[in-house]
Amino acid sequence: MKLANLFTLIIWSLCWLHTFGLKAQEGDQILDGIGETALTARYVFDENLRDWSRNNLHAELQGSEVVFADDAVFGKVLSLQSADKNFIKLPGALIGAEESLTISGWFLSDSEQTLSLLDFGVNTKNHFSIGLSKGNLIAEVIADGNQIQTKKQGLKLNNWHHFVVIFNIVKSDFELYVDGKLEETTTITNIALNQVFDLSNTKNNQFYIGQSLYGSERKGDVKLHDFRMYHVALSAQQVERIYHTALQGEAVVNERQENEDKLPGFHAQTPELYIAYLKSVEDIQVRTNVGELPRLPAYLDAQYNTGVDNTKVRVIWPTPEDNHKVQQEGTYTLVGRISGSPLQPKATVTVKQMPIKAPQRILEPFKLSQVRLNKGPHGEQTKFIENRDKFIGALAQTNSDSFLYMFRNAFGVEQPHGAEPLGVWDSQETKLRGHASGHYLSAIAQAYASSTYNKELQDVFAKKMEYMVETLYDLSKLSGEPKTPGGDFVSDPREVPFGPGKSGYDSDLSEQGIRNDYWNWGKGYISAYPPDQFIMLERGATYGGQNDQIWAPYYTLHKILAGLLDIYEISGNKKALVVAQGMGDWVAARIGELPTPTLISMWNRYIAGEYGGMNEVMARLYRLSGTEPYLEVATLFDNIKMFYGDAQHTHGLAKNVDTFRGLHANQHIPQIVGALEMYRDTDVVEYFKIADNFWFKTTHDYMYSIGGVAGARNPANAECFPAQPATLYENGFSSGGQNETCATYNMLKLTRNLFFFEPKAQLMDYYERGLYNHILASVAKDSPANTYHVPLLPGSVKHFGNPDMKGFTCCNGTAIESSTKLQNSIYFKSKDNKSLYVNLFIPSRLDWTQRNIQIDQITSFPNEDHTTLKIKGKGSFELKIRVPSWATNGFYVKINGKEIDLESSPGSYVSINRKWRNGDTIEIRMPFEFRLEPVMDQQNIASLFYGPVLLAAQEDAPRTEWRKVTFDAQHLGKSIQGDPSTLEFNYKGIVFKPFYETYGRHSVYLDVSLD
């Protein structure tokens, strides 16, 4: 490839970085110190009834026109006059499966009369209302004959007041704040929000502002400003901040939350868990290359007092933000810290110029169609088949026209009979529309390849693929071509004019506002909206719901292009490749000549510039089509700051500096997947280091026990990495949730791709953890509904969305991909077909067609601790079997009933090289043990595992405290009863089940003591 352009680009960008700086974390993501994911809707009411949140739950006027009046405090506000007999209606989908609710708003009233500020619910017997009566503000919830109420008396009329009402299920509190201060708290008894709202059919919910469900007329006038709904309970500080910020007129972004948002505190010096028995820790020597920070082991060998069967201890090392210490050859010493212990292990670091390693891609995956999931040995269902069938079954029932709806809408093409639009992030006015269609392309391709067991299903998916591609192909061919012969057109993507009759580019996607002049969009253009968002991004547009704002056009494009390439690779449909190339050319023309400062500004603009894995998909497009310019375009998506620290490449992930602390997790993980694809296609070793260093850091310093990596309390955003590495307790466990599921989808992708270059057992240990304990655990019991965040605070419950595949968030999008490729990492092979890797222990059949060999894996794992491989066919090959890191109780292999001598250590692969015969049977046993996995900076907060399976304590009520347990220090198993074949255990009456079989309240982290 030609990398010259890349280096020119880097030099140009140098000066610019100094003058401009990078502000990656701006926008509404942490409005008033509250993470955006907690915000359901926000109505500023300044000049329209639009929802300012990303959910586009716009309000509607009922009755005569509303007035937006001038106001001395807030500029423009909504004025409801009693004479006008009008009120505001909000969409029924405003409520999801949330258990807690916060409503915030400003009002000014002149009325002595009873007046409803808002009334939400199913009917007058089950509703949630806030109203005014004679200077009193009253909030109440009525449900099935039960009632709770809070009140503030003596409000001044004709004054602006701020109210916040919180239904806090964890604390069982119903709270009323007025003007930033807590006025009254009532205990919630016998009332839950699912009594007040219809969660299964949201159309039955009524949400009124300025009107009660009783239908009585409003008497008196009221002015309203900035109404918000949050699906979490806000803290007192957050409430106060909303109040003060509004009056001071400046938003507080990224501010650290206050004391009350902290988790239950423990003494820093208390030696918790195994640390109480810790005697000494080894010092270590490490070597590193000049310029690169050393990779320090997260765990060191340690000595404990007799009887404790623990060998390693977690050490937290300093994590500098640059690499100035390693600029020259020499040695220096680092001092580590152990949570709760005065011991300070030392690392002597030798900095030396060393040859650079450049690993080759030595392994390949099998095609999805070569591996089939099987039932257990007794014909029993597995969780893998159960989840696969939920998704494949529902995908087969989908109407592809729903996934094409917004594409046709953008091009102004008539919808076929019966076509219905998707909702949520693909609805008419949502600026991310089309993202689900991209995931859908990938999912139907994978479903086709994975359903080899059912010819009818395969036909269904073959037709869907064909139909989707034909339609997208036809639409893309319209772009930049005259509508009628001889008509006007603009074929050059750089020359796209404003929409007809418009005076600028805008992101208005409403029925009335959307432009459909596809002949002006440049050749090859395809997306579910016109090109404006791409152009606006170049011109500085930020993220948001207004028409001069955008929502991640390249993120959506990545999904669409990846879907097209998946279809091309799986079915060979050449038109899919042609559509992708057409849009690839469009992107190349559009961004190929942009000045570097513009590019850097684009990719670092929070959410607006989120581009998913555009670097990955453009490099892949190059690999599949052989067209070099796509590779050059891919380099334009390099995240220079994260990858290289700065334009001179002085540090960054390439030099093992953690440059992603505090950043949005799922915005950045796909960029790393892209870096690894770039390495595959260019051999530029920096790209490999970026991916390898990132993986090591995320899995050691940011990971929860289920394998998720997002969820920061500081910065206050559930989608971000905590502000500092290895501070999960101090800065993680955000109240808005943790473990965004799409981030784990991407982590698994990264992990598997790294393994093809360096087959280390550690990678597959992580893969297994994330697959069983997050991906499998993210699906609802009776439908393919699935999780966004997976909250792990005590007494949490998983929330599942999108049961009917009609409204997708990012995580609903990746879920249809995850569950249609569950078998994709059980086996890998060496490129030369001489080695076979058995990575995971899942009942399945491998068709190793290249060797004419079939392998059946027969097991009930993890309901038993062994598996059997049966070989059909014959030949010499090396069998590499993973010895999981948790298999500390031995690892045994029998071939044809005879135990063989193997050197095996946990966290490695054993190798058996021989001439295999037809019918050979390999039995593998790896006895399970209970073990605890503590949080690195608070060792007593730990998760309980049995083998690979995370066990969750089943809870029957919300909790404010971690659940306390005391286990036997020498043998955890002594404290726990149960049946390994069902994986259901009992500790003093508390039931533990696999997290992937937990659907109610759970505690995944426990406060553990040992005795």
Site residues (CB under 5 A) for Zn ion? 740, 742, 810-811
Cβ-based nearer residue to Zn ion, 524 or 801: 801
Q: Is 798 helix (H, G, I), strand (E, B) or coil?
A: coil
CB of 881 to Zn ion, least distance (A): 34
CB of 745 to Zn ion, least distance (A): 8
Cβ-based nearer residue to Zn ion, 786 or 940: 786
Token pair in block for residue 569: 């690779």
Residues 506, 537: contact at Cβ < 8 Å?
A: no
Cβ-based nearer residue to Zn ion, 559 or 821: 559
CB of 1004 to Zn ion, least distance (A): 19
- In degrees rounded to 5, what are phi and psi of residue 945? -120, 150
Counting Cα atoms < 13 Å in the Cβ hemisphere of 571 gives: 30
Q: Of the candidates 559, 504, 562, 493, which has an alpha carbon nearest to the alpha carbon of residue 531?
A: 493
Residue 111 CB coordination number (10 Å):
18
Residues 273, 942: contact at Cβ < 8 Å?
A: yes
Token pair in block for residue 59: 């309000």
CB of 707 to Zn ion, least distance (A): 15
- In degrees rounded to 5, what are phi and psi of residue 69? -95, 150
Cα–Cα distance, 787 to 800 (Å, whole number): 5
- In degrees rounded to 5, what are phi and psi of residue 641? -65, -45
Element spanning 238, H or E: helix 236-248
- Residue 201, burial from CB neighbour count under 10 angstroms (0-12, 13-18, 19+): exposed
Cβ-based nearer residue to Zn ion, 689 or 774: 774
CB of 809 to Zn ion, least distance (A): 6
Cβ-based nearer residue to Zn ion, 178 or 810: 810
Distances 671 to 365, 427, 596, 612, 640 between C-alpha atoms, Å: 21, 27, 18, 7, 11
CA 423 to chain centre: 19
Cβ-based nearer residue to Zn ion, 722 or 813: 813
997 Cβ contact list (under 8 Å, min separation 6)? 383, 983
CB of 122 to Zn ion, least distance (A): 30
Buried/exposed code over 8-19 (b: 16+ C-beta within 10 A; e: otherwise): ebbeebeebbee
CB of 646 to Zn ion, least distance (A): 30
Cβ-based nearer residue to Zn ion, 141 or 743: 743
CB of 788 to Zn ion, least distance (A): 6
Cβ-based nearer residue to Zn ion, 632 or 740: 740
CB of 611 to Zn ion, least distance (A): 15
Q: Of the candidates 349, 467, 311, which has an alpha carbon nearest to the alpha carbon of residue 402?
A: 467
Cβ-based nearer residue to Zn ion, 208 or 606: 606
Cα–Cα distance, 394 to 503 (Å, whole number): 44
CB of 125 to Zn ion, least distance (A): 37
Residues 931, 997: contact at Cβ < 8 Å?
A: no
Q: Of the candidates 324, 397, 391, 392, which has an alpha carbon nearest to the alpha carbon of residue 778?
A: 391
Cβ-based nearer residue to Zn ion, 810 or 932: 810
157 Cβ contact list (under 8 Å, min separation 6)? 109, 110, 111, 112, 135
Cβ-based nearer residue to Zn ion, 36 or 920: 36
Cα–Cα distance, 331 to 335 (Å, whole number): 14
CB of 642 to Zn ion, least distance (A): 19
Token pair in block for residue 183: 């006025």
CB of 98 to Zn ion, least distance (A): 17
Distances 818 to 648, 792, 801 between C-alpha atoms, Å: 38, 21, 15
CB of 127 to Zn ion, least distance (A): 32
Cα–Cα distance, 857 to 843 (Å, whole number): 5
Cis omega (within 30 of 0) for bond into 906: no
Token pair in block for residue 230: 């949050």
CB of 741 to Zn ion, least distance (A): 6
Cβ-based nearer residue to Zn ion, 34 or 810: 810
Token pair in block for residue 656: 């093992």
Cβ-based nearer residue to Zn ion, 37 or 507: 37
Cβ-based nearer residue to Zn ion, 51 or 817: 817
Cα–Cα distance, 310 to 278 (Å, whole number): 9
Q: Is 101 helix (H, G, I), strand (E, B) or coil?
A: strand
CB of 666 to Zn ion, least distance (A): 6
CB of 562 to Zn ion, least distance (A): 16
User: CA 457, 463, 467: angle at the middle one, nearest 5?
Assistant: 145
Token pair in block for residue 835: 């080695």
Residues 430, 422: contact at Cβ < 8 Å?
A: no
Cis omega (within 30 of 0) for bond into 862: yes
Cα–Cα distance, 848 to 829 (Å, whole number): 9
Cβ-based nearer residue to Zn ion, 728 or 815: 815
Cβ-based nearer residue to Zn ion, 802 or 998: 802
Q: Looking up tokens 């994986």, which residue turns up?
A: 983
User: CA 4, 5, 9: angle at the middle one, nearest 5?
Assistant: 120
Cβ-based nearer residue to Zn ion, 692 or 740: 740
CA 786 to chain centre: 12
CB of 263 to Zn ion, least distance (A): 24
Cβ-based nearer residue to Zn ion, 241 or 789: 789
Distances 413 to 364, 406, 409, 417, 483 between C-alpha atoms, Å: 42, 10, 6, 12, 12
CB of 789 to Zn ion, least distance (A): 8
